[in-house]
Amino acid sequence: MMQGTCVYCGQTKLVNTVDQEEADKQATLECQCEGAKKERRILQLDDAIEDLFSEKNVDKRFDAASDFEIETIKNIARTVLCNGSRKGSIMLYDGTKATVARKSNGDISIQRNLAVNLEILC
Ligand SMILES: [Zn+2]
């Protein structure tokens, strides 16, 4: 057992690791302070984004987005979660659109959809 310290509030906790860095990480993950809660939400959002956009994407109708696109979507999600922005989106190379939005109840929605392209030439 080691003593880990939450990186946000400094609260210490005994955790079952052998490495200090790991102990601090574990203590942070288990802490109930606001900073730690926010970090857990960011990790949750990252997982959800991986599920929708990476190679392991659950819906095989879509191609995997590039690593750079996935990083960009994660950054949009962080902006929506932490900066109070309401919504952000990016059109991906395959023509699908990624949208991250904050709902009125505080939930964050992540969507991937095919845009309907209407074009007028004149
Ligand atoms: Zn904490």
Residue partners of 35: CB distance under 8 A and separation at least 6: 6, 7, 8, 9
For the beta carbon of residue 19, count every other beta carbon within 10 angstroms.
11
User: Mind listing the pLDDT tens digit for each residue in 36-70?
Assistant: 999 999 999 999 999 889 987 766 778 899 999 99
Q: What is the pLDDT of residues 77-93, one digit of tens each?
A: 999 998 889 999 999 98
CA 26 to ligand 1 centroid distance, Å: 11
Say how many Å lie between the CA of residue 31 and the centre of ligand 1.
Answer: 5
Q: Which DSSP letter does residue 22 get? A: H
The two structure tokens encoding residue 98: 């990624």
Q: DSSP secondary-structure letter at 25? A: H
Q: Where are the beta strands (DSSP E) in 49-120?
A: 87-91, 96-102, 108-114
Size of the chain, expressed as the number of residues it contains: 122
Which tens digit of pLDDT belongs to each residue from 92-103?
988 889 999 999
If phi > 0 it is left, if psi is from -120 to 50 it is alpha, else beta; for residue 64 that is beta
Check whether 115 has a pLDDT greater than 80: no
Where do the structural domains in the chain lie, given as residue ranges? 1-32, 43-122
Residue 34 Cα to ligand 1 middle (Å): 7
Q: Name the pLDDT band for 114 (thresholds 50, 70, 90).
A: confident
pTM above 0.85, yes or no: no
CA of 72 from ligand 1 middle (Å) equals 28
Compute, in angstroms, the gap from residue 104 CA to the centroid of ligand 1: 27
